[in-house]
Chain A
Amino acid sequence: MTVNVGDAIPTFTRATGFANWNRYAAVNDEFVPIHMDDEAGAAAGNGGAFGMGNLQWAYLHNMLRDWMGPNGEILSIEVQFRSPNVKGQTVTAHGVVTAVEGDVVTLDVWTEQQEGTKLAPGSAKVRLAK
């Protein structure tokens, strides 16, 4: 795979809500009131229940893996959760290449909702399969 600075990698998109959050909560034992109950979500300042940051994290990993294929490696990744994933949003994970050193690629990564508001910005470093 030829990779250049500035390349945008294929995105990963999901319509989100309780259907996704509950399934993820079931595997991650993440039955936290703010992710299940509108009153708890509102008390946290977000108007209602909202999705877990760990699922945004998973989407970013999914995006990177789908792009690299099974023999690529995620070396590191960091994100900040800046804006909540509230009900009814379509979330898309994005990545743009910022550096290439041999088979190691650095990217800006982020998730955003359908209107372009970034939910979880960050960066990642991967090693592409030879």
Chain B
Amino acid sequence: MTESYLTEVVLQAAGRECSRATSYPIEASDIRKWALASYWPEQPPQHFIDAEVAPEDFDPFAWGPAHYESLLPDDDGSVIVRHGINERALGFPDWKFRAGLNGGMNCTYGMRMHVGDVITDTKSCGEYTERQGRNGLMLITQSISTWTNQNGEVVKRTINSGIRF
């Protein structure tokens, strides 16, 4: 039974930049399909059907980045971690969990996304904590994603929280 997940390596990782990914240029059909799925079974607003602008929650990385690089010294970037960070490359233990859940999100928005935009996602390690719950000792993680567009403008900053046990 794990007594604690919070080793020194884990605690010292907070704030480290881990990866940078660049999206393919956003296409109108990406925006349209996203809106159709998230409003289903009713139609989304017409400006999403017309792809005038993307919904704030749209993810241009959904089906993989155009380019991905690790910012960690011992990581060749061959393992693309879409949601979160490459914990093994940070030297974290090779934990085995029964399940991983989305604990929540905290997002601040800037510029809207449009057709043709190329988005860069820089991911950093947030704080790791733990607590006892009905499923035993749970590891609570944070990864921080900062998106900028091709003009260097901030699109959004998201703190993603994860729960694993």
Contact = CB atoms under 8 A, between A and B. Distances in A.
B116 interface: no
Interface residues of B, number: 34
Interface stretch (B17-25, B86-94, B95-103): B95-103
A24 B56 CA distance: 15
A62 B99 contact: no
A57 B41 CA distance: 17
Contact of B57 (A26, A43, A57, A81): A57
Interface string B24-41: 000000100110111111
Interface in B65-109: 82, 98-99, 101-109
Interface stretch (A1-9, A69-77, A97-105): A69-77
Contacts of A70: 45, 47
Given A61-B56, A78-B104, A45 B45 contact: no
Interface residues of A, number: 37
A44 B162 CA distance: 13
Contacts of B64: 29
A24 B49 CA distance: 16
A129 B85 CA distance: 37
Interface in B39-71: 39-41, 44-45, 47, 55-57, 59, 62-64
A24 B38 contact: yes
5 contacts: A26-B33, A54-B102, A61-B56, A77-B107, A78-B105
Interface of A: 14, 19-20, 23-24, 26-30, 34, 43-45, 52-55, 57-59, 61-62, 65-66, 70, 73-81, 120, 122
